Amino acid sequence: MNTKSLLAGLTLCLGATAAMAGPTCNVPKDQWMKEADFKAQLEKQGYQIRTFKVSKGQCYEIYGLDKAGKKVEIYFNPATAAVLESK
């Protein structure tokens, strides 16, 4: 493999990684909902949370099931619980 092909392949991989990144939340941490309150609110809506985390973009992120039992990956604004992105 020549150097140009290698560089082109790396560029494509890096671009794909950036495209797969979730949203960015610019919310001061003192305005975030408490994690327990946030989870309770989602569970009342019928979500089953398997994994909860703070994303690299500083948003709340869950992996789990919606009320229909469908797998979901959702990013939320940590202050308002608004859905920012869903996969």
Q: Which residue has the tokens 């794909």?
A: 16
**pLDDT per position as a tens digit, 9-54:** 544 444 444 446 799 999 999 999 999 999 999 999 999 999 999 9
| 83-86, strands of its sheet edge to edge | 48-54, 60-65, 71-76, 83-86
Contact predicate 65/48, CB 8 Å: yes
**pLDDT per position as a tens digit, 56-74:** 999 999 999 999 999 999 9
Question: How far is it, in rounded angstroms, from Cα 18 to Cα 50?
Answer: 25
Full set of structural domains in the chain with CATH? 23-86 (3.10.450)
What local confidence, expressed as pLDDT, does residue 10 receive?
42
Considering the entire predicted model, what is its pTM? 0.75
